[in-house]
């Protein structure tokens, strides 16, 4: 896990809070990127599953780079973090693609289905990034 920076120590910011704020900032930015790209691809006529996979892939590259350098700086092994991140990425992609398809087939708007799956993923990813991926 990341260590306190000089600024954090001066300000008395607990590491968990600093990580949480950085994670949320990175996550909000990449979530917006993912959602906008997803809807843009749908508007351009790309089918639901490929649009989701493409949007998730682009957002994932940006998210890994920013989380690995901003929110969770304490990784001892780039290769280990990358492998674990990609494994989690594959599980998240399968979950979101299946769940979005199921929810849209049940009558839910695609952006709501996408948003709901993203909330689930954001919550479990913080715990897994902090405790498993970027340690």
pLDDT at residue number 118: 85
Is the pTM of the predicted complex or chain greater than 0.75?
A: no
Q: Give residue 86's pLDDT.
A: 93
pLDDT digits 0-9 by tens, 73-130 = 766 788 999 999 999 989 998 999 999 999 999 999 999 999 999 899 989 999 999 9
Other C-beta atoms closer than 10 Å to the C-beta of 108 total: 14
Position 89 scores a pLDDT of 87
Residue 23 has pLDDT above 60, yes or no: yes
Selection from 92, 85, 71, 89 nearest residue 28 by Cα: 71
Q: What is the pLDDT of residue 11?
A: 67
């Amino acid at each position: 896990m990341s260590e306190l920076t000089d600024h954090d120590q001066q300000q008395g910011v607990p590491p968990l809070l600093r990580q949480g704020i950085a994670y949320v900032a990175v996550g909000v930015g990449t979530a917006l990127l993912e959602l906008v790209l997803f809807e843009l691809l749908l508007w351009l006529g790309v089918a639901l599953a490929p649009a989701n996979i493409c949007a998730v892939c682009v957002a994932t590259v940006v998210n890994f780079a920013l989380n690995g350098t901003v929110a969770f700086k304490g990784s001892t092994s780039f290769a280990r973090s990358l492998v674990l991140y990609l494994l989690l990425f594959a599980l998240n992609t399968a979950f979101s693609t299946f769940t979005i398809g199921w929810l849209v087939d049940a009558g839910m708007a695609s952006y709501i289905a996408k948003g709901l799956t993203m909330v689930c993923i954001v919550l479990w990813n913080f715990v897994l990034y902090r405790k498993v991926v970027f340690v």
